[in-house]
Structures are given as structure tokens and as C-alpha cells.
Chain A
């Protein structure tokens, strides 16, 4: 029994030290828990010209209905297969360099609308930024993403496994 007590006591000492160090480190470096990732801005005025426009759920719905846009799901593939905005294609950030030429061709006819999970994910912004940097101006990031889309009960579809 004493062994167990010793082990638990020692474990708590290590755990406390680790948590303390982690908090101090995070506080000093501003990484991790106390990190401050810049919140992406929604207003188009404050945006630098190097980032693409972000659109609201209403604008996204309009674009969807007009058929002049291609939605790009930037989440992981499993999430995409489980459900995505109807007609959306799946391109992750990792795949982007390989697909950039075909996306350029696509952008000649349609607006590209990257989206990810919702306001807590940044891959759609990152994706849009990279498209923009690659010289594709016809990009609008749907920042509300999958969460807003499904909350509004707009058309979705699943992929066959």
C-alpha cells in the first residue's frame, strides 16, 4: 500500500511542477494556452489587400444558389466524407500546392469559396490567403463554415465511403 501512496504522491509532485512550468512558459512565450492568435476580422474595411474577402452565411447562400461558386472544403477528409456543403470539392491545405493549377482554371469561371468547420478553425482563411497570394483574386472565404451552414439547414451531402 505504501508503494502506491508513494507513487501517487510523487506523481502529483511531477504533475504540479509540469503544470507550473507549462503555465510560466506559455505566459512568457505567449504560445499555447496564453497564445493570442490574431482573430480574423469580419469587416472588409480593416482587411489588408493581401487577404481575400470573407462572406457571411447570407452571401454564401446567395452564391450557392446562383451556381457561380465552387465551395472548397478544407477540413480533413473524413469530415468531408461524413458531410459537406452540396457540390463542394475537398482540398486540404496539404493538397493545395498540387491542386493550385486546376483551381486557377476553375477560378476563371467561378468564385472559389473555401470553408472549414467554423469560426474556431483557420484553415479556410489560410487557404483563401494562399489562393490570393497565388494570384487568384476570385476568392471569398465563407468563415462561418460547416457549423453555420448546417445550423441554417442548407443543402448538404455525404460521400460514399
Chain B
């Protein structure tokens, strides 16, 4: 984790690019909005989301109400955290873990030939069928999540301003 210890100049240059506040803001908007929208859509109707989860045929029936109830809230809070840049690393970590699970589930469903819709942003059973596009989409979001996990929220974030405030308010040490 020590940034200065790498002998490789190119790697260091890339790390500097990854710290670009505008890049981090753009990634946060993308990832944050995606998860806020995904979470908000599902929160009101856990039963419908439960059907979507059931369609993947991964979990036994009696476990399904747990993710159907919890997952939308996790998605919403992670999305908000990333969007506003508060607890960004934590949100990015959770989102990245979720995306790995979602991607594996989607790939497994496609490989097994399940003809289901994603249940990602809408629970409408008439929505387009799950396909490899969704896997790529998820991997793209995962990249954004991992960059944010590594680089943090950047300076264009609420956390940055809060931190500045507390630093200004706190009495000088010593």
C-alpha cells in the first residue's frame, strides 16, 4: 500500500491518474446512480424481487425473503454513499462484492440456459432476457468499484469537505 515504494514509474503515473478528482467524481456518479436506481426500484416490492431471485434457481425457497428484503436497502445505501462520497471505500467494497456475486449468478443462469430477465433495474417479467451484455455491464461497474475502493472518494466529495471542516475546527495539536 506504500505508494512511494514502487520502483516502476509507469505504475506510479497510472496511480496519479486514478487519483484524478474528476475521474473519481464521474465514476461515483455512474456507480452511485446505478445502485440507487437499482435499489429504489426493488425496495417497495420485496415479493416481486423474490420472484426474480427465485428465477435464478440458486437459493432454496425459504432463504429467498432474506435477500429480497435486505439487498435493495444495501444497494440503495451503497449507491447513496458512493454518490455523495461518504464512506466511499466501504460502499465500493460492498458494491464490488455484490457485483462479483451478480456477475457469477448471471453467467451461471446464462450457461444453464435459464430464460429469465435480470431483475436488476426492473421486476417486470416482460423485460428483456438476461444475456452476456449484462455480464459485461457488471464487469464495467466492477472496474469502477475497484478503482474507487483503491483511490477513495477524491476531493470532489462531501467527505472531503467534512474532513476539511473538522480539521479547521479542531484546536491545534500540542
**Chain A residues within 8 Å of B105, by CB:** none
B78 touches A14 (CB 8 A): yes
Query: Does residue B21 face the partner (Cβ distance < 8 Å to A)?
Result: no
Among listed B10-18, B26-34, B83-91, interface-contacting one? B83-91
* Residue of B with least CB distance to A34: B69
Which of B's residues lie within 8 Å of A, judged by CB?
1, 43-47, 50, 55, 57, 61-62, 65-66, 68-70, 72-74, 76-78, 81, 87-94, 112-116, 125, 149-150, 152
CB distance from A138 to the nearest CB of B (A): 28
CB distance from B103 to the nearest CB of A (A): 19
**Chain A residues within 8 Å of B152, by CB:** 3
Subset of 29 A-B contacts with CB under 8 Å: A3-B152, A6-B90, A7-B149, A8-B93, A10-B88, A10-B91, A10-B93, A11-B90, A11-B91, A11-B94, A14-B74, A14-B90, A14-B91, A15-B74, A18-B70, A18-B73, A18-B74, A19-B70, A22-B69, A23-B69, A32-B65, A33-B46, A33-B65, A35-B46, A35-B65, A37-B47, A76-B55, A76-B114, A78-B115
B66 touches A13 (CB 8 A): no
Give the interface size bracket for A toward B: 20 to 34
B73 touches A22 (CB 8 A): yes
**Chain B residues within 8 Å of A43, by CB:** none
B76 touches A18 (CB 8 A): yes
CB distance from A27 to the nearest CB of B (A): 10
Contact of A7 among B50, B57, B76, B90 (CB under 8 A): B90
A10 touches B87 (CB 8 A): yes
Given contacts A1-B1, A78-B113, A120-B61, contact A31 B45 (CB under 8 A): yes
